[in-house]
Amino acid sequence: MWQKSDTYTVETHPFETFIPAAATHLIIGTFPTHQQNFTFNFYYSGENNNFWKIIEEVFNHKFKHSDGDAAVEERKKFLTNKRVGITDMIIKCYRRNNKSTDENLFPIILQDVFSIIDNHKEITTLVLTSRTEVFGALGLLKTYFLQRNLEFGNLERRSDKVMTGNFKRENRIIDVVVPYSPSYRLTKNGKTTNEELVKMYKSCLVQ
């Protein structure tokens, strides 16, 4: 709820979209945490984000570097080898009260998802890392569709709790899969477990 004492700062996404030439999957989040929380200048580098730990288990891989430029280059090489791209839905936003949760980020400019798909013909699957309506990656993708007078359509919930759907872009069918967020808050409050997250992301990223 809006409060008179709320403060808002305008922020631009600090990272460029990273998509290898042969990418088949595109991971889409919302917006990074505060820069002071970064351990390296790339996606999901917040100290309390479990994303890369989950990825290690999904692909049975151990990253050698956990900070600095070496960590960035190592992850880019890994994503290239796995044919996975990565980006966020928000390009520019208002951040409320200096908070990092999705509900405190108000988009000004959204990522042009269609342009990415059109320019990378081998992408078949979008993996959204948060499902909150309106504020999460899924809600923002729906907003992106509405801005273009398009309806996103309904998603189904599989037995493993991953939400799934698809949409048509020109002559291509693009699958959309939405596991739970890798944010530590979900495991901390008991909504999910690390084991469940690994299974979800494995089903979304490993053919």
CB contact at 8 A, 63 and 51 = no
Give tens-digit pLDDT for 178-203: 999 998 777 777 788 999 999 999 99
User: What is the structure's pLDDT at 15?
Assistant: 96
Q: What is the pTM (predicted TM-score) of this model?
A: 0.93
Residue 111 lies in a domain: yes
Residue 2 lies in a domain: no
Residue 55 lies in a domain: yes
**Helix, strand or coil, per DSSP, at residue 16:** coil
Residue type, 159: S
**Whether residue 171 has pLDDT greater than 60:** yes
Number of domains in the chain: 1
Residue 184 lies in a domain: yes
- Other beta carbons within 10 angstroms of residue 18's beta carbon come to 19
Residue 3 lies in a domain: no
- Per the listing, tokens 């988009």 go with 107
Q: How far apart are CA 165 and CA 179, in angstroms?
A: 12
Residue 41 lies in a domain: yes
User: What is the structure's pLDDT at 46?
Assistant: 84
Give the pLDDT band (50/70/90) at residue 7. Answer: very high
Q: Identify which of 120, 104, 100 has the alpha carbon closest to the alpha carbon of residue 112.
A: 120
Q: How far apart are CA 171 and CA 196, in angstroms?
A: 34
CATH number for the domain spanning 147: value is 3.40.470.10
Give the pLDDT band (50/70/90) at residue 207. Answer: low
Report the Cα–Cα distance between both ends of the chain, in Å, rounded: 42
**Where in the sequence is the domain holding 188, given as residue range(s)?**
8-205
Give tens-digit pLDDT for 11-28: 999 999 999 999 999 999
**Got the DSSP string for 97-133?**
TT--SGGGEEEEEE--HHHHHHH-TT--EEEES---T
Q: How far apart are CA 97 and CA 6, in angstroms?
A: 6
Give tens-digit pLDDT for 60-117: 999 999 999 999 999 999 999 999 999 999 999 999 988 878 888 899 999 999 999 9
Average pLDDT over residues 166-176: 96
Residues in the chain, overall count: 207
- Other beta carbons within 10 angstroms of residue 32's beta carbon come to 23
Residue 53 lies in a domain: yes
Residue 17 lies in a domain: yes
Average pLDDT over residues 20-40: 92
Residues facing residue 164 across a β-bridge = 156, 177
